Amino acid sequence: MGWRALDCSLCRHHKAASLIAHRGGATTLGAIRNTYGNTGSTGYTLNWFSDCTADACDAYLASPFFTTCKPVETLVKRGCKVHLLVRLCSITRPPVLKDAMGLPGVTIRYYTDREFHAKLYVVGDTALVGSANLTESGLMSNREVSVVLTKERDEGFADLVGLFELFWSNAITLTAEVLKQYELAYRRIGNPQEEADFQKALEALVPKAIVPSAKVGSDKVSKERAFLQRYQRKYDEQLIPAFREVEGVFEDFGQRRPDFENEDRLVELGRFLGWCRLAKAPGDEWQTTALAPAPQRRERIVAQLADWLTSTDTRAGDLYDAAKESARISGLRKAMGSEQVIAALNYDDLFGALIGVHAFHDRLRHVKGGERGLKEEFRLNPLSRIKETLTYLLYGPGLSLERAYDCIQNERWKLVGFGEASVMELLGWMDEERPPINGRTIKALRFLGFDVRD
């Protein structure tokens, strides 16, 4: 996630306003205290989250139990980007996680391991460490003890940052798909007498996430898991939230091109992003635009949408106008509509459907002989192997991103000429939880000011 955020440009910009002042051993930052104990005289832990956010910055919250969204909501309202680390267990409530996931700028990772007990909260240059979980009782009624540390005053502050980074880097991203499985586990298991029973049943439905030891750098992640985590973070923490932000602006904009007006909104949005890349940011121009915070990104997106409405060349180098684009996606979805439909396809029909995937179609630039050459290259994959891989990708067991990872990296499933961009775009057209993302999409998002990488 980049720990520059703890010393982020926004924090540096406001450094003069956020320095901790020492007066006779006391610490002052708004109404901040040195300790919190959940009484009127010792201060309520919940109040720390508003006391410490005089300046918007990044927030890093680690709490095994999570039953209230109030601290996260407070930080988001103050302009913080929140990194939330929780434990999936019989106490952490799925509806509250869902509420947190719906807030802008919130990223959630999790452990399933009972060994995860850390209650650590870092906001800018201030940290709170103690016994309080992010629960109503932990923040307000339980007699907890939590101590405030600051970057300027306390040498141990840097160690706290290192510990959070260790925990965060080994945790698994909580996605909408994982959350659905957790909700299922929660309903199915209930609240058993033994927490170990819940954990055992939970890990049959949700990917297991084991906490590392507390010694920084002592744990190594397997190569396969490291690659999978990279894909999870690239798509679930960066690209999909960026895409959804553009989608939200697109919905709020409320205007559509007449030629797309009766078509699937996702088709027009995909074409808009492809047009941004090809018409507005050709060559390397997509990566020279300055990154931007959300309000400025919104202005850029609206400006490009206004141009999109009046453009006379929505194709911008592609083969597809609105009607062909819609027919292409409709044909793709029909051909990939079920395991049985895929099984019945011959090679020509299957290739004809897949050529509708922009990322796959773009391979025409890299093979001799145009579409015929691409078709011959793809024949290096036996028909049975193609069908098996596509069926596994779209309808196999487990989480969709794990299957996608297998189709990109695992020799058992990967196909010649059908790489990451093709896999992720196809999955997006077929999976409601995942938008279609390819290389053009990523470059367009970067052009619009998002901190994403191809």
Alpha-carbon gap, residue 16 to 13, rounded angstroms:
8
Alpha-carbon gap, residue 344 to 348, rounded angstroms:
12
At residue 218, the pLDDT reads 42
* Low-confidence spans in the chain with pLDDT less than 50: 1-30, 214-219
* Contact predicate 358/439, CB 8 Å: no
Q: Which of 140, 148, 152 is nearest to 35 (CA)?
A: 148
Q: Distances from the Cα of 304 to the Cαs of 14, 27, 276, 354, in angstroms?
A: 32, 48, 8, 29
301-323 pLDDT tens trace? 999 999 999 988 877 767 667 88
Please count the other Cβ atoms lying within 10 Å of the Cβ belonging to residue 2. Answer: 8
At residue 41, the pLDDT reads 87
370: left (phi > 0), else alpha (psi -120 to 50), else beta? left
At residue 217, the pLDDT reads 45
Q: What angle do CA 240, 55, 39 make, to 5 degrees?
A: 105
pTM of the model: 0.81
At residue 56, the pLDDT reads 60
Collect all residues with Cβ–Cβ distance below 8 Å to 282 and sequence separation of at least 6: none
Q: Distances from the Cα of 303 to the Cαs of 185, 412, 448, in angstroms?
A: 45, 45, 10
At residue 31, the pLDDT reads 67
Q: Which two tokens stand for residue 221?
A: 């992640």
Alpha-carbon gap, residue 48 to 182, rounded angstroms:
30
CA 279 to chain centre: 27
Q: In the 8-state DSSP scheme, what is residue 167?
A: H
Please count the other Cβ atoms lying within 10 Å of the Cβ belonging to residue 178. Answer: 22
At residue 114, the pLDDT reads 87
Per DSSP, the residues of 246-268 read HHHHHHHH----GGGTTS-HHHH
At residue 222, the pLDDT reads 62
73-95 pLDDT tens trace? 999 998 899 999 999 998 999 99
At residue 336, the pLDDT reads 97
Decide: helix, strand or coil at residue 87.
Answer: strand
